[in-house]
Structure 1
Amino acid sequence: MNPQEVKATPPSANPPASPTPSHKSAQRSRWVGSLVALVLVGLVGGAAWYLIQRSTSDPSQGSGRGPGGGRPMVTVGEATVRKAELPVIIDALGTVIPATTVTLRPQVSGMLAQVLFTEGQMVKKGQLLAQIDPRPFEQALMQAQGTRQRDEAQLENARLTLERYRTLLSQDSIARQDVDTQAALVKQLEGTAMTDKAQEGTARLNLGYTRLTAPATGRIGLRTVDAGNYVTSGDAAGIATITQVAPIDVQFAVPQDRVGDILAAQADSAALAVTALDRTRKAELDKGRFSTLDNLVDTTTGTVKAKARFENAAGALFPNQFVNVQLLLRNVPAVVVPVTAVRTGANGDYVYVISEDRKVSLRKVKRGQATVGLMAITEGLKEGERVVTEGGDRLQDGMAVQVPGAQGAQGARGPRAGASGPRSGASGPRGGGASGEGGQRRQRPAQNP
C-alpha cells in the first residue's frame, strides 16, 4: 500500500477514546447547579405560600375580610344623625368703608403757621389741627369794624335831622320835600350800615377759618402740606383726611334672588346679625347689625348692594379692607348630617346607612339648607341613625364595613390571637428548611461518582 494513502485515512475510522477526568468533572458541576436551582425555586415557592396563608389567617396583615372570609371589609368614617338649629346664612364678600370721610381743606388762603396733629392720630370733633397766619384777617376785621362805626354815626345824625324836620313840618316852618328827602337819606344810611355789618361778619368768619378744626371724630391720615407753605382755599388735596372708624360700615352685595328673604327676615326681626370674617374665614373680626339694602339692582351683576354697621371697638376693621360677610337670616330646626355624608348619583342624592350588624344600605334622601359643615335632610333619615362620612366611594349596598371604634376594639384583642400565628408558622420554615437541607445532604452523596 502506498504510504501516502495511509496518511489520508480520516480520524473517524479510529476507535472511540475513553472519557477524560476533566470531562466528568464538568458534567458533575452542571448537574449540581441544576439541583441547587430546583431547591431554590422550591424554597421561594414555600415562602410565598407561607406569606399568603399568614395574610389570610391574620386580618391585621391584609385588607380585611367579612364574616366567613367572603367580601373584603372597608374601613369607613361614621356620624350620627341628630337634630340641630341650622342657621340660614348669606355669604358675601364685603368692603369696609368709613362711616364718615372728611378732607381737611383750608377755607381761606394764607401761610400755614402751625400743624398741631400727628399723622395717624385719633382726633375728636372740634379739636384744633392747624393754624393759618391770622394777622391779615385781623386787620381786615378792624377795617370792617371802622367802616361800620362811621356809617352808623352818619345814620344816627340823619335820624336826628329827620326828627327836627318833622317838628318843623308840624309848625309849617319847612317844606315837605325836605322832610321826604331826609327820610330817604336815613333809609340809605340804614342799608349802608347793614352792608357794613355783613362785611364785618365776613371778616370775622375769615379770621375764624384760620383755625382748622376737626369736623368729625376719627383717625387722621398723612398730611400733604407742612408748616410754612402757602395754602389756598381751592386746594383739592387739602391738608389731611379724617376717617371715622368707630362705628364703621361694611358694604357688600347680595344676589337679587335673596332680596325677598332679607326683607322677610327684617319684618320678623328688627336687627339682623352680621359677622365679619377675615380672608381665610377662620378669624372673627367683629359682629354688627344689618343696616339697609340699596334701592335698585345692579343689572351688570344681578346683585343688590347692602350695608351693615359695626361698632369696631377693638379696631379690627380697617377702611377699604376686604372681609367675608355672613348675614344671619334665621335659625331653623332640622335633622342634620355632615356634608360629606350626602352623595349624588344618577338617581339623586343618597347616603349609606350603617345597620347594627355593620352592614351598609343605600338610602335616598332630600337635602335642605346647608352650612359649611352641616346639611339639613328633609326626608329619608331619622335621628339616631348612623351614616357613612368617609370611604363611601368603595361601598356597595349590603357590604360589611369596619368603623374606627370597632376596629380599635378588635386591634386590642388582635395581638394575643395573632401572636400564636407567627410561633406556629415559624416552625414551618424551620421544619421545611431542615428537611430541604436534609434532602440536599441525602442527595449530595449520590452526586459523587
Structure 2
Amino acid sequence: MNHPTEQDVTPHHSIPSSSGRRGWVRRAMPWLLALLLVGAALWWWKTNEGSPAESDTAQASGRADRAPGGGGRRFANAVQPVSAQAVRRQDIRISVNAIGSISALNTAIVHAQVSGVLQRLNFQEGQQVRAGQWLAQIDPRVFQAALSQAEGGLARDKAQLDNARIDLERYRGLLAKDAIPKQQLDTQEALVRQLEGTVKADQGAVDSARVQLSYTRVTAPIAGRIGLKQVDLGNVVQPGDANGIVSITQTQPISLIFAVPAVHVPTITARLRSGAPIPVEAWERGGQRQLAVGRVATVDNAIDPSTDTIKVKAVFPNRDEALFPNQAVSVTLQLDVLTDVIAVPQAAVLRGAQGFYVYVVNDDNTVSTRVVTPGAVDEGWMAVEGPLKPDEKVVIDGTDRLREGAKVELIAADPKQRAGASAPAGGSRRQRRGPDDPASTTSQPAAAASAAGGERRASGSPPASGTSTGERPRWMDRLSPEQADKVKAMSPDERRAWFRPQREGRDNPPSP
C-alpha cells in the first residue's frame, strides 16, 4: 500500500518563503523613499514660507559677488544703515597692562620690650597713628623700684667719692710739709680713682633702669595705619610673643609691585635715569573704576628667566586710603605718549585679505576702503597711519554688510538715540527733502528695505532685488511712514525680532 509523501500533503497555498518577502520589500522601498522625500519637501516649504515681503524679494534676488573689501556682499547696492564717527587728531598713550599687588611701604609689629601686665591700650583699631605715639602701658612699678634702687647706690658712691677727694687734697698739703709719707698720698689717689669708677657704674645702672622703665610705655615705631589688637588688657606680655601687641602698616604712601615683559626694560630705565616721571594707574580687577595714580619708583635688579619679566615698584600717595596692603589690582603703565596723531575708533579698524582697513563715508553717502597701519590703542581709540584726514567719517557699526562703493545711511550708534530721531508723521523723508540733497538717497523705503535685508540675512533668505537697486519693494506699500522710520531705527536684533512673526502670519506685518 502506497503512503502519501510529504509533498502530497503540502497544500499549494503555503506561506511564502523568506526570499519572497525580501523581494516584496525591495519593490516597495522606492515608493517609501519617494513618500518620505515628498513629506520632507512639504515640511521644508511650510516652515520656510516667509512673509509677502520676503517672498517678493526672494523671487528677484541673486547672490552678489564678494568684493575684496571683506564682509557679506548680499546687499550689493542696497542702502545700508550704518553708524560712523569722525577721524581726529589726539594724543595716544603707549601703555602696558599687568596685574599687581599692593604692599605697605613699611610694616612693623609692635612687641613689648619688657615683661609685665598690660594695663592700658591707647589706640583705636584701624586708626592712623604718628611715629612715637603712645599705644599701650605695661605695669611700671617693678621697674620704678629698680630705678630708685640704682639711684640710691649712685648717691652713696658719689658721697664716698667726694669725701675721698677732700682727703686727697689734705694729704697733698701734708706731704708738702713732710708730715706724711708719700705712700699714703698714693693710696688716697688710688681710692679716689676707684670711687670714680664705682660712680660711673652706678650711673650706668641708673640709666639702664630708666630705659627699662620707659619700655613700659609702648609707642609707635613708625607712622601708619594700626591693625587689630593681638592681646587684651590684663594679660602678661613678653618680648618673645610672636604676634606682639599690634601691627602697623605705612599706607601713606603705599607701594605697588607688578611685573612687565623684559622688552620694556630699556624704555623704563632710560626714563628713570632722565628723571622723567612714569605714570602708573591702579584699577579694580574688573577695570571699571580707577583707584589711584602714582609713579614708578624703581625696577628690580634682575629679570626672572622663567617668565622673562622684571618686577617694577610704583609708589602712590594714597591720601584717600583707596589702596590696602595685599590688594590685587589691574595696572596700566604709561611708557610714552604719541602726540597729535591720526586716531580712529578701534571698532572701525577691520582686517581682510588686503590687511587692516577702514570704511570711509564719502560726501555722496557711499563708502570706500582705506588701508591703514594700526598702532597703539588708548581708551577705545587707535593710532593709525594711512590716507585719512581729520573729520572724515569712518564706519564703526554695520561694516559686515558693506562693500566698496556701497550706499549707506548714517544712523546714531546708540539705539535710544535712533528711536528719538524718528521723523514726524505726515509724509516720507523723500517727499520732504529736495532732489539735490545727498541724503535723499537714504529714504524711508531704503532704510526699511535695509532692515528687512538684515533680517533675511540672519535667517538665511536672499535679499530682495528691489533693494539691490535702491527701488521700493512691493511689500513696503503695506508699511506706514511711521513704521518705516521705526524699522530703520531698530538694531539688527530688534529687526530680526520684528520680522520673525511674519513667518507665522503673512496677512499683516506686526506693528513695531
Normalising by structure 2, we get a TM-score of 0.64
C-alpha distance in 1 between matches for 2:290 and 2:76: 51
Q: Which residue number corresponds to residue 399 of structure 2?
A: 392
Q: Please say if 1:284 is aligned against 2:290.
A: yes
Q: Please say if 1:113 is aligned against 2:119.
A: yes
**Amino acid aligned to 1:410:** S
Contact 2:361 2:368 in 1 (8 A): yes
**Amino acid aligned to 2:477:** G
Q: Which residue number corresponds to residue 89 of structure 2?
A: 83
Q: Which residue number corresponds to residue 234 of structure 2?
A: 228
C-alpha distance in 2 between matches for 1:305 and 1:114: 43
Deviation of the 1:282 alpha carbon: 1.7
Deviation of the 1:49 alpha carbon: 10
Q: Please say if 1:259 is aligned against 2:315.
A: no
Cα distance, 1:180–1:148 mapped onto 2, change above 3 Å: same
Matches within 5 A, 1:353-372: 353-372=360-379
Cα distance, 1:52–1:260 mapped onto 2, change above 3 Å: closer
C-alpha distance in 1 between matches for 2:443 and 2:328: 51
Larger Rg: 1
> Which has the larger displacement, 261-270 or 216-225?
261-270
Q: Deviation per CA, 1:69-109, whole angstroms, max 9, x where unpaired? A: 96555544433221111122232222222233221111111
Cα distance, 1:345–1:165 mapped onto 2, change above 3 Å: farther
C-alpha distance in 2 between matches for 1:384 and 1:319: 47
Deviation of the 1:365 alpha carbon: 1.7
Deviation of the 1:226 alpha carbon: 0.9
Normalising by structure 1, we get a TM-score of 0.72
C-alpha distance in 2 between matches for 1:413 and 1:75: 9
C-alpha distance in 2 between matches for 1:70 and 1:315: 59
Contact 2:370 2:386 in 1 (8 A): no
C-alpha distance in 1 between matches for 2:101 and 2:50: 67
C-alpha distance in 1 between matches for 2:239 and 2:76: 91
Contact 1:78 1:388 in 2 (8 A): yes
C-alpha distance in 1 between matches for 2:53 and 2:120: 91
Deviation of the 1:284 alpha carbon: 1.8
C-alpha distance in 2 between matches for 1:235 and 1:125: 22
Q: 2:136 aligns with which of 118, 121, 130?
A: 130
> Which has the larger displacement, 192-201 or 317-326?
317-326
C-alpha distance in 1 between matches for 2:447 and 2:134: 81
Q: Which residue number corresponds to residue 192 of structure 1?
A: 198
**Amino acid aligned to 1:301:** T
Cα distance, 1:163–1:388 mapped onto 2, change above 3 Å: same
Q: Which residue number corresponds to residue 11 of structure 1?
A: none
**Amino acid aligned to 1:384:** D
Any gaps of 5 or more consecutive residues in structure 1? 1-43, 60-68, 424-449
Q: Which residue number corresponds to residue 33 of structure 1?
A: none
Deviation of the 1:211 alpha carbon: 0.8
SS in 2 for 1:246: strand
Q: Please say if 1:245 is aligned against 2:251.
A: yes
Contact 1:265 1:330 in 2 (8 A): no
Q: Which residue number corresponds to residue 15 of structure 1?
A: none
Q: Please say if 1:421 is aligned against 2:477.
A: yes
Q: Please say if 1:140 is aligned against 2:146.
A: yes
**Amino acid aligned to 1:115:** L
SS in 2 for 1:262: helix
Cα distance, 1:58–1:188 mapped onto 2, change above 3 Å: farther
Deviation of the 1:48 alpha carbon: 8.1
Q: Please say if 1:303 is aligned against 2:309.
A: yes
Deviation of the 1:57 alpha carbon: 11
Q: Which residue number corresponds to residue 351 of structure 1?
A: 358
Q: Please say if 1:176 is aligned against 2:182.
A: yes
C-alpha distance in 1 between matches for 2:276 and 2:175: 77
C-alpha distance in 1 between matches for 2:315 and 2:180: 77
Q: Which residue number corresponds to residue 443 of structure 2?
A: 410
**Amino acid aligned to 1:411:** Q
Q: Deviation per CA, 1:395-423, whole angstroms, max 9, x where unpaired? A: 444444444366996238979x8898349
Q: 1:204 aligns with which of 202, 210, 222?
A: 210
SS in 1 for 2:357: strand
Instruction: Report the aligned-residue RMSD.
Output: 3.3
Cα distance, 1:300–1:184 mapped onto 2, change above 3 Å: farther
Q: 1:149 aligns with which of 125, 148, 155?
A: 155
Deviation of the 1:52 alpha carbon: 5.4
**Amino acid aligned to 2:362:** S
C-alpha distance in 2 between matches for 1:225 and 1:139: 26
Deviation of the 1:374 alpha carbon: 1.3
Q: Please say if 1:327 is aligned against 2:333.
A: yes
Q: Which residue number corresponds to residue 271 of structure 1?
A: 277
Q: Which residue number corresponds to residue 162 of structure 1?
A: 168
Q: 1:217 aligns with which of 216, 223, 235?
A: 223
Cα distance, 1:410–1:269 mapped onto 2, change above 3 Å: farther
C-alpha distance in 1 between matches for 2:90 and 2:410: 24
Matches within 5 A, 1:37-52: 51=53
**Amino acid aligned to 2:380:** G
Q: Deviation per CA, 1:220-271, whole angstroms, max 9, x where unpaired? A: 2111111111111122310111122233222222322222222344466643
Contact 2:81 2:447 in 1 (8 A): no
C-alpha distance in 2 between matches for 1:139 and 1:239: 25
